[in-house]
Amino acid sequence: MSRASIYTLLSRNSANYTQSYPFRFAFKGFEERLEEAELDAQTLNSFTNLLYTNAGTICFADLQAMQEVLKPHQMSEVEEFVYRLPAYRLRLRIYTNSDINALVNYWGKGGREKKIRPLLESMTYLSRTNGTSLSISYMLPIFARIRLNTFPSAWEEAEAKDEDCFWTSMNFFHEKPDMRYLDPANVRKALQEEYTMVRGQPEFGDLVTVINERGDAVHMCVYIVEDFVFTKNGKNPLQPWVLMKIPDMLVSFASEQGPKMVIFRQK
């Protein structure tokens, strides 16, 4: 049987973590990305020989195996390649005639209206004909703002290595993170008691949950604006907190029958 067939079978048991959650890449732009990585011939050959396809994506699940055949510097190049994410830095542009009330209503969720309004109003006074802009990070709650574009290793929390997408999403509006959300049971309880499922266009602060074909929640992130989400893709300490487009995020959680998104909004 081919690697794709074997690993697809193994992925149906969540105990096989590397096959259940392989590194996934979109076909579009993959060749260009390989060229930009400038892997040496041995590294490139070893890496490409272990690639397989699943659910319309290119997959890699043998990082540990490659450690046995590559030198440390070659292994570092492979790790840099597979962990690289298409992240973004967003800016909010304000004009003198911008509807400040609407902006405050959107960005001030979580009881933050009084904190957001003075900043937005001051920006209108600075605006010129083409407006003025500020980093979207200023619109985020403090939990997300200080973690954006950082890795777990930057934090002294004893549980940093266990901080996954669910813990991240449930703590989005918290000034101090609630460590109870490291327990999946507490996440499920909070969703049932404090959130409601919504249809249609998500809004700032909504929880975007990815469901696989077995009905399991495999990922959760927070909607920001215009198809961008605040996300930490997995528990791995090499995964940072970043802003991503939803289509890019979904590549990492592709499934045979296609991932399903469910939106939750705080009551």
pLDDT computed for residue 1 by the predictor: 55
**98-147 pLDDT, tens per residue?**
999 999 999 999 999 999 999 999 888 776 667 889 999 999 999 999 99
Domain segments of the chain: what residues?
Answer: 3-83, 91-139, 142-266
Query: What number of CA atoms fall less than 13 Å from residue 197's CA on the CB side?
Result: 5
What kind and span of H or E run contains 136?
none
Phi/psi-derived region of residue 200, left when phi > 0, alpha when psi is between -120 and 50, beta in every other case: left
Q: Which CATH number fits domain 142-266: 3.40.50, 3.30.70, 3.90.1720, 3.10.450?
A: 3.90.1720
Instruction: Compute how many other C-beta atoms are within 10 angstroms of the C-beta atom of residue 83.
Output: 14
**66-98 pLDDT, tens per residue?**
998 899 999 999 999 998 888 899 999 998 889
Please answer whether residues 226 and 203 qualify as being in contact, where contact means their C-beta atoms are separated by less than 8 angstroms.
no
Alpha-carbon gap, residue 258 to 264, rounded angstroms: 20
- The confidence band for 237, taking pLDDT boundaries of 50, 70 and 90, is confident
**113-122 pLDDT, tens per residue?**
999 999 999 8
Q: Where are the alpha helices (DSSP H) in the chain?
A: 3-10, 17-20, 30-37, 41-48, 63-66, 72-83, 100-107, 113-126, 142-147, 165-170, 184-194, 246-251
pLDDT computed for residue 221 by the predictor: 98
